[in-house]
Amino acid sequence: MIRTLLLGLFFTLAIILALPWLILWSVIVGNADLMYGLAMKVVRLGNRIAGIRVRIEGLENIPPGACVFISNHVSNADALALIPAIPRRVAILIKEELFRIPILSTGMRRAQFISVDRSDREAAAASVDVAVRTLKDGLSFAIFAEGTRSADGRLRPFKRGAFTVAIQAGVPIVPVSISGTLTLMKKGDWIIRPGEAVVRYGQAVDSSSYTMARRAELLAHVQALVAAGLPPEQQPAGRPPRATSRPPA
């Protein structure tokens, strides 16, 4: 509990004392790279305060240029482990509620994070359009494709939105398998426990080889790759899907 309280205090002070100046600097120079880079250093330091050790595997699977990182999602600790582990600046699709936090919301908008209102189909479609334009401008995205956290840690079916974005932008998809975070912070819990999180990058998939008519095929292929990188206790219920590295016909 003490680590969790210290982490909350650390992030609160960083948002109140440092983020406004970084936002101002990003406005002056017209670039959010410095703000983003320092924010990632703050998150890494926060992980150390919380006792979270992050092991990264498969960095060689990340292609150059803009791409979509698609990951499983079991814990609020996933973002703390994943986002600083991606070796480039990324934008994120974030639920609308987080954009109600003062100062932080301004920083997220400057970083080109995108608000998603899953209860409003028209607003969600508009978010997809913004994400596609952002990718075409060269900024990568990180998306938790299940849409919500898995309560038991097992991989749940992916939503279609991330694959619509990737196909329309014509960028590669990097499957990401996160394990270990469920023991760090379970769904519904607010206490972070020390431990190791593993971020494993799988073989990238060329989404430009797919059309919207084959979106379900792309979804199934990427979901199988994410599942293949997870330990048995996080595999989908029932028979795990088979992953292959063969390109589409």
Each residue of 150-207: pLDDT tens digit? 888 899 999 998 999 999 999 999 999 999 999 998 777 888 999 999 999 999 999 9
pLDDT at 116: 79
| pTM passes above 0.75 | yes
Domains and CATH numbers, the chain: 2-234 (3.40.1130.10)
CA gap 83, 86 in Å, rounded: 6
CA gap 209, 206 in Å, rounded: 6
Residuewise pLDDT in 10s, the chain (249 residues): 899 999 999 999 999 999 999 999 999 999 999 999 999 999 999 999 999 999 999 999 999 999 999 999 999 999 999 999 999 999 998 878 888 888 999 999 999 998 877 666 776 778 888 999 999 999 999 999 998 888 888 999 999 989 999 999 999 999 999 999 999 987 778 889 999 999 999 999 999 999 999 999 999 999 999 999 999 999 998 754 455 444 443
Q: Beta strand 114-116 with 90-95: parallel, antiparallel or unpaired?
A: parallel
pLDDT at 118: 66
